[in-house]
Structure 1
Amino acid sequence: MSARVALGCVALGYAVLQAATGGLRVPLDLDEAVYASQFSGGTPRIPFAVHRSLGEGLLAAPVTSWTSDVTLIRVYFAVLSAALLLLAFWPWSKVLDRAAAPAAAALFAVPWVSLRFGATVLPNMPVALGAVGAAGVLVAGGRRAWIPLLLIITGVGLLRPTDALWLALPLFVAAIVVPGWRWSAAGIAGGLAAGWGVWLVESFVRFDDPITRLRAMQSVNGASGLHFVLPRYLATLSGRESCPPTTVDCGPVGFATAVWCAGGLALVGAGLWAARGETRRALLVCTATAAVFGGAYVVLSDLAVPRYLLPVFALLSLPAGAGLTAILRAARRRRAGQILAAAVLATALVHTGLQLAEADRASDRAKAALSWPVEAADALAARGVGGDCAVLGGFAPQIAFLRRCHAPDMRDGFGARDMSAAITAANVERLRTRGLRVALVTARRPALPGPWQAVTVVGDGPRLYLSPSPARPAPEHPVSRP
């Protein structure tokens, strides 16, 4: 079997495993609802906060422009992530030996983080695969490599501008240092400029100016300065989706996580040691880029979210895949080595089983945590609410997206402008004068004027209240009748 056919099988298996571990049945979270609404055909656009970018909404547009069905959105992203996996590792089949590129793709596809976030409307998986693809295009060489590099890094910049910076810096240095790669430096620099150029324009249009936006981002992200959150990240790899700075204890580092990390680093070392010549140089570029990504997230933020490390896992999977194939190839030559090869394969199978089980548990936890807004949207649908409506309070973006309602402008870090999302009499009256029926998600009955109807929602969660149908606002310039 050729490397490219094997890569295709890995990509197909990745899509199937996302479905098998429950990734397609998880409702949208707040961030996903905001991204999905940006180019939705029937849902008002939910203004996004300073730390989000336009790219994920564009990536979702082919499906969100005609449907808000969450299952179809999940299927689209599962197929998209599998296709991007194939494209990202494809250039590496020219650099590594026949089995290493498919092995690397499989090593990246199996961990629960990859399975849980492959079908999500979040930018981390496309960024991770973009990083693998960009590094592969660079090390594969050729004078025309600058064109795909320009496109890939522009795309990463549209998704996450800071990630485009962590990707471009080591690749640009490598392109300058290696004579045969210098044509690619122009594509890397151009892609970075294009991605950040969109961010700068957007900053002037929506957030006053880039400096104001950066200050607002700082207020959202919390403490400034340097941090060391590697222990918190290691704790989250046991199945926790985040560990915010306010969490005192993120939990212990599980035994399986310790074995996973130690075994992965051992495979990376074996791959770098066994590689020679241009292959070793290519793998060193991967490892250096992974180190830049990992260092940025470990020391520049005190928030530990395992999906942020997907680019690190993706890039390190390449030397790890090379190490795995080198060990198995060397073991075949000796009788004692065959026992080692069997032990390595057995360990890989056990690891795969543990990761699949953890991915299934993570999907179940996410589904339970995000089921209430779906039930709330169904309860509003039963009362005929949809279209001319607005939602304030917790879960507002998810409910608004499902019912085609307006959601508040949550431009985090902008002080008074953030207050448009608060449940106040002024905000409710402003929405009702626009002819919108208002739904409030709150812990207790709102102390607001007017009759508010309590809406029964299945499941545990906050309470949902609905305003009466407002009178239609009079047109500003009524047409006189004869």
Structure 2
Amino acid sequence: MYGTRPVDQAQPVPRPRTSRKARGPLPWLVALAVVFAAVQLAFVVPGSGLAWDETVYVSQVGGNAPPAFFSAPRARGISYLVAPVATLTASTTALRIYLALVSAVALAVALWIWRKVLPTPVLVGAGGLFAGLWPTLYYGPAAMPNLWCALGALAAAGWVMRALSGEAAVRTAAAGAGAAVALVALMRPADGFWLALPLTLATLLVPGRRRPGLCAAPAGGLVAGCAPWTAEAYAHYGGLGTRLHRAGEIQGGLGWNFAVDDHLRSLAGRTLCRPCDIGWENPATAVWWVALPLLAAGGVVAARRAGRGLVALSATAVGVSMAVPYLFLVEYAAPRFLLPAYALLAVPVAEYLVSLLARARHARRPGGTAALALVLAAHLGVQFSVLSHVVRTSHATSAGFAAVAGALNRMGVRPPCVVSGDDAVPIAYYAGCASRQTEGHDASITPDALRGLARRVPTAVLVPGNAPPPPVTSGARTVPLPSGHGPHQARLLPGPAEDGTEAGRRSG
């Protein structure tokens, strides 16, 4: 008895090991975040301009122009996120650097939440797989909501998994999950719904782990995150039902729409495929996407053998839930829509790949390890190839917008000013003007009101090359625009814009 006593007391060795294991992922996650930020800063940020949707979000809180029309489907979460920089400077580079750094930190934090339910190799592998996708890298420094929905969904699912696994206090997990769901709903209310639904079901269906507080957290987060959008619906759109109906119209009508093939084609580098009636330009870019369901299923099996079946299965279910509306309810595709699904499905895929690597090492088969490394290297090569193509295309597009905006400024369309017509929203932002449309999704002014406005401030209507001029431009002067992306002519409505052109011609 006494001989064994000192041995028992000298046994606090497991505790230090446990704490070291808990701290184990941190250096890896920090390294992952540094690499993620560095790639964005090196390959995506330099020379980039704001895209169409970004100009809408940024203009709400500052930037280079008055607020653009905010259509019914949009939510203001991303505008709140960019406000600290956009209110201080109109520099796109400053905004990009800020978003790149914040997104890298957010990725590490979202993964850190999972540290109690996933071993370090799986945790870091999941983060690396998600961070290595070209849509993740491209939208990291972008003023767009989808990556933030992905990181919020990853964090929310992590908190719920920790609570269901008994690795976190219910109150702490409920608060974390509710806050993360609120972030997602603030960015995109529909994504918040498709996230809260499976998380709530998980808290109800897992036997022996039902906790009222945890069950209510996703729903509470959804309500809190949707509150600004709902309040705005009553203040500016005639009510919640009216805004939902209008949002559905703008998105082409929500219903059964099989868009799986559209997403396959968009992976070649189409940031928006609407309508997606293009050919499948490069099938190699979608090989990983086709393999994703099989890899995720293999990961669930591997995780179950390792005693983590609940975690992998739940992550898969949440990822599938967030993919459903974009694959089957929306009639067009954009790779960014599926970022939340990719973030969650990376967990079971990492489980599978880590199990393959472990088996290859256990069997002492270096050929298997080398083959897996080659496959992953090829995958990353494809992702960076598409990323470089998307970056070049977006740079050319924003340069075209800037060229047209510069031409308008030289014509006398300078702030305060108004731009309407083809590609008016981004071009107006670059020109420092307000954008006002007389028709379409962003209709915010009548033709008569636009002509009346033109008598007070310089106003231009942009018209594509072969399109007939709209009736509002009757009697307007036609001015050619720089060739390249975007409209080919501007119609300067009678008023200061036309007077400025006449003065410029006489002085020339």
TM-score > 0.5 by shorter chain: yes
Overall identity of the aligned pairs, in %:
30
In 2, are the aligned partners of 1:243 and 1:250 still within 8 Å (CA)? no
Cross-structure match for 1:436: 457
Cross-structure match for 2:12: none
Once the two structures are superposed, residues 455-481 of structure 1 have per-residue CA deviations (whole angstroms, 9 ceiling, x without a partner) of 65364542234455379xxxxxxxxxx
> How far did residue 121 of structure 1 move?
1.3
In 2, are the aligned partners of 1:400 and 1:407 still within 8 Å (CA)? yes
In structure 2, distance between residues paired with 1:112 and 1:175: 33
Cross-structure match for 2:341: 312
Q: Which amino acid aligns with 2:88?
A: W
In structure 2, distance between residues paired with 1:418 and 1:240: 26
In structure 2, distance between residues paired with 1:158 and 1:50: 14
In structure 2, distance between residues paired with 1:106 and 1:323: 14
In structure 1, distance between residues paired with 2:284 and 2:476: 56
Q: Which amino acid aligns with 1:305?
A: A
Q: Which amino acid aligns with 2:496?
A: S
Alpha-carbon distance change, 310 to 42 in structure 1, aligned in 2, over 3 angstroms: closer
Cross-structure match for 2:403: 375
Alpha-carbon distance change, 210 to 238 in structure 1, aligned in 2, over 3 angstroms: same
Is 1:348 the counterpart of 2:407? The answer is no
In structure 1, distance between residues paired with 2:282 and 2:481: 41
**Alignment partner of 1:227 out of 252, 257, 260:** 257
> How far did residue 395 of structure 1 move?
2.3
Q: Which amino acid aligns with 1:469?
A: P
Which deviates further from its counterpart, 385-394 or 104-113?
385-394
**Alignment partner of 1:321 out of 330, 337, 350:** 350
Once the two structures are superposed, residues 320-349 of structure 1 have per-residue CA deviations (whole angstroms, 9 ceiling, x without a partner) of 11222221122111223x211110011101
> How far did residue 278 of structure 1 move?
5.9
Q: Which amino acid aligns with 2:138?
A: R
In structure 2, distance between residues paired with 1:428 and 1:40: 24
Cross-structure match for 2:422: 394
Which deviates further from its counterpart, 354-363 or 374-383?
374-383
Count of residues paired in the alignment: 462
Is 1:66 the counterpart of 2:94? The answer is no
Which deviates further from its counterpart, 211-220 or 3-12?
211-220
Matches within 5 A, 1:3-22: 3-22=25-44
In structure 1, distance between residues paired with 2:331 and 2:481: 39
**Alignment partner of 1:339 out of 357, 362, 367:** 367
Is 1:457 the counterpart of 2:482? The answer is yes
Return 5+ residue gaps in structure 1 as ranges: 472-482
In 2, are the aligned partners of 1:26 and 1:367 still within 8 Å (CA)? yes
Cross-structure match for 2:313: 284
Alpha-carbon distance change, 293 to 451 in structure 1, aligned in 2, over 3 angstroms: closer
Q: Which amino acid aligns with 2:200?
A: F
Is 1:172 the counterpart of 2:200? The answer is yes
Q: Which amino acid aligns with 1:190?
A: G
Alpha-carbon distance change, 438 to 278 in structure 1, aligned in 2, over 3 angstroms: farther
In structure 1, distance between residues paired with 2:483 and 2:94: 24
Which deviates further from its counterpart, 203-212 or 175-184?
175-184
Matches within 5 A, 1:422-433: 424=447, 426-433=448-455
Cross-structure match for 2:329: 300
Is 1:136 the counterpart of 2:137? The answer is no
Once the two structures are superposed, residues 389-445 of structure 1 have per-residue CA deviations (whole angstroms, 9 ceiling, x without a partner) of 1111122222222333211268966xxx9262x7x4x24332234x32213222367
In structure 2, distance between residues paired with 1:199 and 1:401: 24
In 2, are the aligned partners of 1:4 and 1:93 still within 8 Å (CA)? no
Q: Which amino acid aligns with 1:235?
A: R
Q: Which amino acid aligns with 1:251?
A: W
Once the two structures are superposed, residues 76-116 of structure 1 have per-residue CA deviations (whole angstroms, 9 ceiling, x without a partner) of 22222212211111111221111111111110111212122
Q: Which amino acid aligns with 1:194?
A: A
In structure 2, distance between residues paired with 1:428 and 1:411: 12
In structure 2, distance between residues paired with 1:379 and 1:73: 25
In 2, are the aligned partners of 1:39 and 1:45 still within 8 Å (CA)? yes
**Alignment partner of 1:192 out of 198, 205, 222:** 222
In 1, are the aligned partners of 2:248 and 2:254 still within 8 Å (CA)? yes
Alpha-carbon distance change, 290 to 449 in structure 1, aligned in 2, over 3 angstroms: closer
Q: TM-score w.r.t. structure 2 length?
A: 0.84
In structure 2, distance between residues paired with 1:266 and 1:393: 46
In 2, are the aligned partners of 1:68 and 1:401 still within 8 Å (CA)? no
The answer to which structure, 1 or 2, has the higher relative contact order (CA under 8 A, 6+ apart) is 1
In structure 2, distance between residues paired with 1:204 and 1:105: 40
Secondary structure of residue in 2 paired with 1:391: strand
**Alignment partner of 1:161 out of 189, 198, 201:** 189
Cross-structure match for 2:496: 469
Q: Which amino acid aligns with 2:247?
A: M
> How far did residue 198 of structure 1 move?
2.3
In structure 2, distance between residues paired with 1:48 and 1:360: 31
> How far did residue 454 of structure 1 move?
2.6
In 1, are the aligned partners of 2:401 and 2:485 still within 8 Å (CA)? no
Q: Which amino acid aligns with 2:246?
A: A
> How far did residue 357 of structure 1 move?
1.2
Alpha-carbon distance change, 437 to 262 in structure 1, aligned in 2, over 3 angstroms: closer
**Alignment partner of 1:152 out of 156, 180, 185:** 180
**Alignment partner of 1:107 out of 117, 121, 129:** 129
In 1, are the aligned partners of 2:189 and 2:225 still within 8 Å (CA)? yes
Once the two structures are superposed, residues 251-280 of structure 1 have per-residue CA deviations (whole angstroms, 9 ceiling, x without a partner) of 26613422x134433432332122247622
In structure 2, distance between residues paired with 1:147 and 1:23: 35
In structure 1, distance between residues paired with 2:202 and 2:319: 14
